[in-house]
Structures are given as structure tokens and as C-alpha cells.
Structure 1
Amino acid sequence: MSRSARTRAVVTRLFADVASGNVQGVMDAIAPDIVFDLPANEFTSAIPNLGVWRGKDEVAEAFRLRGAFADVTEFENREILVEDDRAFVVNFQRIRHRATEFEVSFEFSMLLTVGDDGLVHHWKAFFDASAEVAMFRSDIGDRLLAAVRGRETDAVRTLLRDGADANHRDAASGLTVLQTAAGLGDAKTVAVLLEAGGDVYSADSRAGGTALHKAVQNGDLATVRILVEAGAFVDAVAPTTGHTPLMDALWYKWPDVVRYLLEQNAGLNLSTHYGFSLREHFEYELNVNTRGKDKMLAADRLIKERLKDDEDGRAAHRLIAATTEGDTVAVRALLDEGADTERRYPVVNGFNDAHTALLVAARDGHTEIVRALLDAGADVNAVEPTFGAVPLHKAVYNGHADITRVLVGTPGTDLDFQGATNGYTPLHDALWHGYEECARVLLAAGARTDLTGHDGKTPLDIATDVFGAGHALTGELAARA
């Protein structure tokens, strides 16, 4: 028998065994030093058996990995071309994913080399893996959820690498995988999901709780910290209950978490959606709980300490007190004493929360105090966290044209800062509230007219709504556009 004939016979028998599922026949046809090459790259990592496998044991493992998830429902050897000890083979197969019944079919090619011993020593595949990738990803969300629930951080990392969505949501619980990991207090997995794009701001679809709510309920401080450091809103409100994370920390009796959230300026003067203030709710809990009183009393002490600190902070912030009263003389005296212009007012769920004195002065119309603060080096672009506004927003929103002039004339003023709440620039706000003079000051200073708010509106759109299409200011904005 010629070498080519022997090669054809070996390869034909091999793929007959593949088609019939005769694994032992396949193993008998390959050499102990077989190199089984199923090329892999960064886009095909979802297919479990790709790679270079050496020796019979590794080939057996490659087959096992493939068979663990999918069944070959149809296999056909379509063509064999032989030259000496090499065979080029074209095959067809149909595969069904066992869990999802997702089915794909495709042709693929293989190059095999047969040795003098009549065994296959080298076996390499050539194929478009996109269909198989789609099949093996068909249950990847379920596998990710199972790995998260099992606290299998390495498996989670692998599945994310293979294309799993870090924001996959479980239909039954309404929780994303990040919220699930947070609820388990699994800080390591939470960190991996966040790194892969897990959304720290999303809410569960049943009760509206965030990942931070879930972590707080579990009481794992490390997980709570990771989420807060990733940007989680400390005062996020669940739409069904009105609970903030702090309310949940009190309810679940986690004084260490309470302490941390209080240090992050969590609000104390907030209420549930069923009529209790935070304090009333906590007092109710103190009365009805028969166990864990020591933890609740520890949390109660922390709240009282924070309330005292807030009161002391309000009393000590003489610069904002003088600004609020419009007392220019007192403001100048405090600045001469070295008062810190950037010191923020304590968060007490009030109108001045986390404001600097300049933000308050610009809002309340105290022009000379604005000048004094700017002369003392106050940050002209300080942002307050409630609306995400800068002093220029505050001034135009309230129609303070003189303060608007002072601010736009200050070097470094961002004329076009877009607020976090609605994406409006100061020009948007001036037009929205009908303050033509403020708008003209901004336009003369070079404010942009092409920026859009979160509602898609430009300054021209707002001017048209507020002043009408025939107004002179609307015409000027149209000309600039």
C-alpha cells in the first residue's frame, strides 16, 4: 500500500469513528506524541476546548471539555485530499448546546499528518469560530450568576473574559450580578465585576435597591467601602420603601456600617415612603426588636454624635452664617482672620448642604460678598453636589445680573459648565427662567450656544419656548446657530 493510500485509510477510519462517537477508536488512531491544534485567540475564549493539546491525555481532556456543554447532532466527512503522509479534510457538523438547545452548523477544515506507524501525529483545525462562540455564550449569563452565587471569583473573572455581561440581571430576583455579589458580602467578586463595567448606580427591578443597599443589608463593611469608593450614592433612595443605605444599616443592626456611612455624610433628616422619618423609624425598631439591642444602642450613640457634630459644624461655619445674613462687614472680617473660603457646610438635608460661601452668596444675591470672596481666592467653579451647579448657575438661576457680570469677569470661570441634574449650562438656566439680562451678559462673555441639556434642548430651543420665536434675543441666538 502506498503512503498516500495508507494516509487516506487512517484518516477515513478516524473520521468515521468521530461521526459515530467512537471515542476509543479515535484515541487508538492517534500517536502518544500527538499534537492536537485547535487555534485560539482573544475572541474565542468562550469555547472551552481550544488551544494546543499534546499527548493522548490532553486530547482526551479536549474532547471532554467539548462534550461537557454540547452534543454533536450531525457530522459528515465531505472531502479528503491526500498527498503522501498528509491529509486535508473538509467536515460538516451540527452542534446543540445542552443547556440552552442553541444550535449551530458549519464547515471546518483539518490538516493531519500520519506517521510511518500508521498513527496521526499532528492534527490541526481551521475554522470560523463565530458560530460556536455564540453557542457557548448562550448560557453565559446563567453561568455567571451561578458563579457569583457560589462566590467563585476566579470563575467569574473567566466568564467576564469570555464575554459575560457584568450587568447581567437575574429575571427571578430582579438583581444584577453586582447586586447579588454585594448582597452576599463578597467584596472580591464585587471588585471584579466593577472592574469589568458593573453598574454601581443601577437598581434592582423589584424593589429598586442598589448594590450599596444590598451590601449594607449583609453588613460586610469591605463591600460597602468598595461600592462607595466606586461612586455609589450614599443617600440612594429605594423607590418602594424610601430607604437609604443608612436606614438599612440601622434596620439590620450593623453599627460599623452605620459609622462608615455617617462618615460619608449620609443624610439623617430623610424620611421613608411610608411616613417615618429616619429617627422615627429607628425609634420604632428600638421598640419592636428583642434581640441585638446592644448593636442598636451603639448605632443610636453614633447618630447622636453625628447630630451634635452637625450642629457644631453649623455653628462653627461663621463665614456661611454671615453670608446667609448678607453681612458684608462680618464676611470681610472673617476673611481677614483667614477663614477658609472652600469649607463646606455640613450635610443636614438643608438648602446649604455642602455649599461653599461663594455658592451661597451667588445664589442669594450678595454682590459685594461675592467680590470679597473672589478677592480672597474662592473657587469660582466650586460645584455643589445636590444639583451639580457652580456659582454661575446659582447667579443666573435667580436673575442676579450684577453677580453674573462679576463671575464672568473672573479669570478661569467656566462659562459652559453643565449641571449634573439636567445638563444645563448657565446660559440654559438664564433663558429657562426668563432672565434676559443675565443671558446677554453670558453671550457677550462668549458662552457657547451649541451645547444641549439632557432633554436635547439648545439655548435657542429654550429661548424660543420662553421668549417666543419673534423675540430679539431668540433672533440673536438663531443667527449664532
Structure 2
Amino acid sequence: MSSERTREVVEKYFADLERGDLGSALSALAHDIDFELPVDRWNEVIPYLGRHLGIDAVKAAFAVRGDTTEILDYAVRDLRAEGDTAYAVIYTRAAHTRTRQEFEIEDVHKLVVDERGRIVTWKVYFDPNSEVAAFNADREERLVRACWAGDRETVAELLRFGADVNHRDPESGLTPLLIAAGRADADLTRQLIAAGADVNAVDSGGGATALHKACQGGDLAVVRALVEAGAFVDAVTPNTGHTPLMDAVWFKNPEIAKYLLDRGAGLNLGTHYGFSLQQHFEYELNVNTMGKDKILLAHQYIQERQAADERRAADQLLMAAVTQGDVDGVRKLLGDGAEVDERFPIVNGFNDAHTPLLVASRDGHTEIARLLLEAGADVNASEPTFGAVPLHKSVYNGHVDLTRLIANWPGVDLDFQGATNGYTPLHDALWHGYEECSRIVIDAGARLDLVGHDGKTPLALAVEEFGADHPLTELIRAKVG
């Protein structure tokens, strides 16, 4: 095939396309044409991309393009031929038919013409970014609509195309996960969690979490999926003060209430309008004419948990001895095989979910802490209220000897950052002005470069609390270099 003939075939082909004469244009293609518009994970939102083998496949690709794209301007910018191969530069200005967002593309086409004057291979090289943006212009809005409709297939497609899984519905203020949880759609809930949905995001209207919505929706599988993904069991809404447990009672879902109780939901939290959990139950029982049996069953589960907590607290002799500072009692109980890291029940008290070592460290019982550590207590056990470890507890309260014991204990994590503020034990010691505790932790090898959630390093806190010229501040500055 001569270069002149190749150019003639390809020039006519693109002229037919420019005129919109698709029938004439397609007649220039070989029956077994190999047409490729390269596709990858970044541009797969454009549905007609890919490799199309045969004239029927090409026609189908053109049909999809026609349904999704309105051509506003089309021109051949350059065309060259070498033997049986032609290279063309094509300019296209178009708009997506659904989003109406316009885009421009200048792409390069490589076409091979056979001896019969038919185009047998056609490959397009292009930068699809502007076209991808046009196709994705309503991606998040479609995701929200698909979640309301429970359309998991569309949700999966949109997430694959990069939709923001935490995008809020502008009308309801709900994220996709909040929608799925409220609709009691367990499969969609799990799908969104797997895609990285924030399980503790709150709705912008009332501040409820997905777990609150799930307790309203009434599907235990949804509740279970959220809790297993890290949802806060005792999350409190800013308007009502409701916890998920309160909503489970309110919406007459006793089995959900039992599940939350089994996961340590607090029993002594009150609403923002002054009701205790018991008063909340009594009010709901009074105002409902239907479903009282479900409310009563939830209350039964609550009473059973209260009784269990009382038994557990009474049985924790080691914690009682630690709280009382009873060294001999602790020594005897450990010798008798007491569980050294047993957690205190959650009763909305100061010892909730604490181990004996955490309490001893907080309360300054140095000899008891030594006995617990020698018995194998977890030196890095954390508690859920502040997200602190024993060393935090000790320095926070200025216990010098206890700080020295823990900071030098084998396996201690000197740099554990608490969940509440991101502070390490060194941050806490500096923050509270305990110079000797600070020096002990520094000498033990604490890092000096970690920052809290407020962006402060130990040096910044030292300057703030002790002054820029204080010897402790100078020590930290010298070590930082």
C-alpha cells in the first residue's frame, strides 16, 4: 500500500466522521478490524474505551460513545502517511450527555490500511483527564442516590471510579454509610466499610453516628458490622445526648440493645434533657401503645447487665486491693493466682476498663505497681477513656519513683501517643510541669520529635510551661539539635 493511497483512505475516513456520516465511515473498516482505545483503572469510567475486535464491536463502541458524548467540534489537525500506516492528530470538543460538562481532547491515531484499502488496525493515544472529569462530574451525587436506592452494583462501580465514600448528601447531610445504616442494609454497610467509610462520621443535622442510625433501622447485622469496624459504642449525639443503646430501646430493638450491652455499652450515661437510662426507659414505656413487650425485654437485658457488673466488681479483689493501696493484699492475691490484667467493668466510673496496673500508676502505688509488673502485668496496657498507658498515668500525676520504675521497665513503650490528644508520656509530664518526671522519661530514651494533635513537640511544651531559658528546656533543645 502506497503512502498516497493510505493517506487517501484515512483522510476520507476522518472526513466522514467529521460530517457525521457514520455509515460511510464504518465502510472503510475491515470486518476483522482491531480497534483499541487504551483503558486502565484511571479512565475506566469512560465506557467505550478498551480493545474492540471486529466491525460489530466497533459499532457497539460508537453507539455507547454516541449515547454518552455530544460532539461540539471535531477537526483533523494533522495527517501523515508512511507506507500502509497513517498518523493523525484529531481535536475534539464535546460534552457529556448526562453531566453536560464540556471537555477538549487532542489525540493521536495510528491506523494501518491493507491492500484492499480497508483499515485493519486503529489505535488511539490520548490524555483522558478532561473527559474523565466530565464523566465523573456527578459521581458523588450518583453514589448518594445509589445508596438511597440500595443499588450495590452501582455503588461498587462508582467507588471503583474513585467516588468519595464519605461524600455527604447535600439535602440530608448524611454520608453513604449513614444512609445504608439507617436503611438497615447490611450488605451495603459492609461494602462501604470495606471501601474506607468513616464509621464514626456524624450526620450534619443531629450529630448521630451510623451506629445510632443502625439502632433506629433495626438490623443487628448492620450494628455488628459497624461495631466490629470500630464504631464508638457509647457515641453521644450533641442535640439529645442519646447513645446508641438509648436509641435501640427507643426504637424497640431489644436484641440490638443486648448486643451493645454485651459490648460494654455504658449504663450510667444521661440524656442532655436530664433523663437517666432508667428514666429514658420509663418514658418510652409510657408513651408507646404498641411494642411495649420489646421495650420491657430491652430493660430486662439492661438489668441483667447491671447485675453482672455488680458481680464482676465484687469479684475483683485484686482491683479492690490496688484501689485501697493494700500492698500485702495485692501480694497475697497475686500469689493465689489472681488475674493480673483483669479489666474493671464499664460502669461509667474512673476505673472503667482499667487494669490494676493502670490504677496503681494513676494513684501512685509504686510498690504495688512493682508487684504487678513482676507478676507479668502489661506495662503498655491502655484504657479507653483517655487512651493512656501506665506511664501516662504516672507522669500525669507527678509520681517520680513510679515514673522511674515504669520508664525503665523492659518492653515499655516510652512514646505511646494517647488517643485523646496524641500526647506521649513526655508531653504529659511537661504539660503538667513535672520537671523530674520529664527528665526521667528523657533519660530513658523518649523521642523528642513526636507531635500531639495540637502540633506541639516536647520542646514547644517545655518553652510554654517552663520558659525558653529553663535548664530542662535547654536540655531538650540540645538533644533535638
TM-score class normalised by the smaller sequence:
over 0.9
Partner-residue secondary structure (3-state), 1:32: strand
1:321, distance to aligned residue in structure 2 (A): 1.2
Corresponding residue of 1:94: 93
1:443 aligns with 2:442: yes
Residue 235 of structure 1 aligns with an amino acid whose one-letter code is D
1:330, distance to aligned residue in structure 2 (A): 1.7
Find the aligned partners of 2:19 and 2:344 in 1 and give their Cα distance: 77
Residue 41 of structure 1 aligns with an amino acid whose one-letter code is D
Residue 229 of structure 2 aligns with an amino acid whose one-letter code is A
What are the Cα deviations for residues 82-108 of structure 1, in whole angstroms up to 9, with x where unaligned? 455543322111011233332111211
1:270, distance to aligned residue in structure 2 (A): 1.0
Contact preservation (8 Å) 2:86, 2:110 = yes
RMSD (Å), alpha carbons = 2.1
Residue 188 of structure 1 aligns with an amino acid whose one-letter code is D
Corresponding residue of 2:255: 256
1:338 aligns with 2:337: yes
1:115, distance to aligned residue in structure 2 (A): 4.3
Corresponding residue of 1:175: 174
> After the TM superposition, which of the residue ranges 62-71 and 414-423 deviates more from structure 2?
62-71
Corresponding residue of 2:419: 420
1:424, distance to aligned residue in structure 2 (A): 1.3
Alignment size in residue pairs: 480
What are the Cα deviations for residues 370-426 of structure 1, in whole angstroms up to 9, with x where unaligned? 122122111111111111111111111111112112212322222222111111111
Corresponding residue of 1:193: 192
What are the Cα deviations for residues 111-132 of structure 1, in whole angstroms up to 9, with x where unaligned? 3334455543332212122221
Corresponding residue of 1:469: 468
Change (3 A) 1:119 1:146: farther
1:363, distance to aligned residue in structure 2 (A): 0.8
Contact preservation (8 Å) 1:148, 1:177 = yes
Contact preservation (8 Å) 1:35, 1:121 = yes
What are the Cα deviations for residues 129-150 of structure 1, in whole angstroms up to 9, with x where unaligned? 2221222222211222233233
1:468, distance to aligned residue in structure 2 (A): 2.5
Q: How does 1:293-308 map to 2 (within 5 A)?
A: 293-308=292-307
Change (3 A) 1:444 1:126: closer
Find the aligned partners of 2:290 and 2:28 in 1 and give their Cα distance: 70
1:5, distance to aligned residue in structure 2 (A): 5.8
Contact preservation (8 Å) 1:46, 1:163 = no
1:358, distance to aligned residue in structure 2 (A): 0.8
Find the aligned partners of 2:4 and 2:417 in 1 and give their Cα distance: 76
What are the Cα deviations for residues 302-339 of structure 1, in whole angstroms up to 9, with x where unaligned? 11111111111111111111111112222122111100
What are the Cα deviations for residues 147-187 of structure 1, in whole angstroms up to 9, with x where unaligned? 32332323322222222222222211111122222222222
1:112 aligns with 2:101: no
What are the Cα deviations for residues 199-241 of structure 1, in whole angstroms up to 9, with x where unaligned? 2222222222222222222122222212211111111122222
Find the aligned partners of 1:450 and 1:16 in 2 and give their Cα distance: 65
Residue 107 of structure 2 aligns with an amino acid whose one-letter code is F
Find the aligned partners of 2:226 and 2:84 in 1 and give their Cα distance: 61
Find the aligned partners of 1:390 and 1:411 in 2 and give their Cα distance: 15
Q: Which runs of 5+ in 1 are unaligned?
A: none
Residue 91 of structure 1 aligns with an amino acid whose one-letter code is I
Partner-residue secondary structure (3-state), 1:25: helix
Contact preservation (8 Å) 2:99, 2:135 = no
Residue 465 of structure 2 aligns with an amino acid whose one-letter code is V
Find the aligned partners of 2:449 and 2:79 in 1 and give their Cα distance: 65
Corresponding residue of 1:48: 47
TM-score, normalised with respect to structure 1 = 0.93
Corresponding residue of 1:140: 139
What are the Cα deviations for residues 451-477 of structure 1, in whole angstroms up to 9, with x where unaligned? 221112222222222223343323322
> After the TM superposition, which of the residue ranges 118-127 and 311-320 deviates more from structure 2?
118-127
> After the TM superposition, which of the residue ranges 395-404 and 436-445 deviates more from structure 2?
436-445
Partner-residue secondary structure (3-state), 1:68: helix
Contact preservation (8 Å) 2:105, 2:128 = no
Residue 245 of structure 1 aligns with an amino acid whose one-letter code is P
Residue 148 of structure 2 aligns with an amino acid whose one-letter code is R
Change (3 A) 1:29 1:404: same
Corresponding residue of 1:388: 387
> After the TM superposition, which of the residue ranges 81-90 and 407-416 deviates more from structure 2?
81-90
1:340, distance to aligned residue in structure 2 (A): 0.2
> After the TM superposition, which of the residue ranges 459-468 and 329-338 deviates more from structure 2?
459-468
Corresponding residue of 1:277: 276
> After the TM superposition, which of the residue ranges 386-395 and 415-424 deviates more from structure 2?
415-424
Change (3 A) 1:86 1:478: closer
Residue 178 of structure 2 aligns with an amino acid whose one-letter code is Q
1:190, distance to aligned residue in structure 2 (A): 2.5
Q: Which runs of 5+ in 2 are unaligned?
A: none
Identity among equivalent positions (%) equals: 56
1:64, distance to aligned residue in structure 2 (A): 2.7
Partner-residue secondary structure (3-state), 1:132: helix
Corresponding residue of 1:73: 72
Corresponding residue of 2:62: 63
1:7, distance to aligned residue in structure 2 (A): 4.6
Find the aligned partners of 1:185 and 1:22 in 2 and give their Cα distance: 52
Change (3 A) 1:352 1:18: same
What are the Cα deviations for residues 36-74 of structure 1, in whole angstroms up to 9, with x where unaligned? 211112222121111111233322321232233331111
